[in-house]
Amino acid sequence: MALPRLRREVRDALAVYGHLLLSARKTEKAHAVFKGMRVLFPDDLQVIRSLAVTSLASGDAEGALALADELRAQAGAEDMAALDAVRGKALFALGRIEEARNALTRSLTLRATAAATPSTNGKAP
């Protein structure tokens, strides 16, 4: 069926557009793109993660923290480092310094562990 592939292509195109806007420092426009994507793709973890990032960039630390916490309950281990980084930045923006330090330390530890672990790209070693 063409619909699932079309939906995936639309999602991917919108995500690229949103990230281009964000990299061009058009934060509010990028945030609007990801808010719209959340309506279209409510269960897509990458959309939620991108919305958390743009929420933080838009100054909505509470929203970013809520989204990151929502994602942590559903995300796999490979996404935890990025989520902890978003959480740490949001917590810092909210003045919750010790919690921010813990989240950022956890993010760095997860990244270091992932970098030290050889990847098999899903293949048996």
Residue 87, CA distances (Å) to 43, 78, 117 in order: 20, 15, 24
What global pTM score does this model have?
A: 0.81
Q: Would you say residue 10 lies in a domain?
A: yes
Domain that holds residue 108: 2-115
User: What is the per-residue pLDDT for 43?
Assistant: 87
Q: 29 in the Ramachandran plot: left (φ > 0), alpha (ψ -120 to 50) or beta?
A: alpha
Comparing CA positions, the residue from 72, 16, 24, 29 lying closest to residue 48 is: 72
Number of Cβ within a 10 Å radius of residue 51: 25
Residue pLDDT tens, the chain, 125 long: 345 777 889 999 999 999 999 999 999 999 999 999 999 999 888 999 999 999 999 999 999 999 999 998 887 777 888 999 999 999 999 999 999 999 999 999 988 888 887 655 545 44
Find the CATH number of the domain harbouring 101: 1.25.40.10
Q: Which helix (H) or strand (E) holds 90?
A: helix 77-93
- Considering its fold, how many domains does the chain have in total? 1
